[in-house]
């Protein structure tokens, strides 16, 4: 039912259904879990990217060039260049 009210704010929906009633609905529980899962996935991806970027200086020190690093870490060459400019 909530999906039929796309223009209604969350506060208005809470007032219409009652906050505790809304939190008990299957739609609310599914949306909450979906949001949590998306957040976990985004966090995981950000962590993986941060680890890759942190390894770039070490790979440069080993003598690898930008293209080799980008290929090894599955990054764009521009990402490798930008990471080296930040230091």
Give tens-digit pLDDT for 50-78. 999 999 999 999 999 999 999 999 999 99
Question: Nearest to residue 42, comparing CAs of 53, 50, 30?
Answer: 50
Compute the chain's Rg from CA coordinates: 22
The reported pTM is: 0.63
**Is 55:73 a contact under the CB 8 Å cutoff?**
yes
Question: Nearest to residue 17, comparing CAs of 29, 39, 2, 4?
Answer: 2
Show contacts of 34-37: CB within 8 Å, 24+ apart: none
Give tens-digit pLDDT for 16-51. 766 666 677 888 789 889 999 999 999 999 999 999
């Amino acid at each position: 039912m909530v999906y039929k009210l796309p223009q209604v704010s969350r506060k208005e929906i809470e007032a219409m259904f009652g906050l505790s009633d809304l939190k008990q609905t299957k739609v609310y529980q599914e949306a909450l879990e979906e949001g949590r899962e998306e957040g976990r996935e985004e966090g995981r991806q950000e962590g993986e990217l941060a680890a890759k970027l942190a390894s770039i200086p070490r790979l440069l020190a080993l003598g690898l060039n930008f293209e080799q690093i980008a290929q090894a870490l599955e990054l764009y060459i521009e990402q490798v260049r930008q990471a080296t400019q930040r230091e």
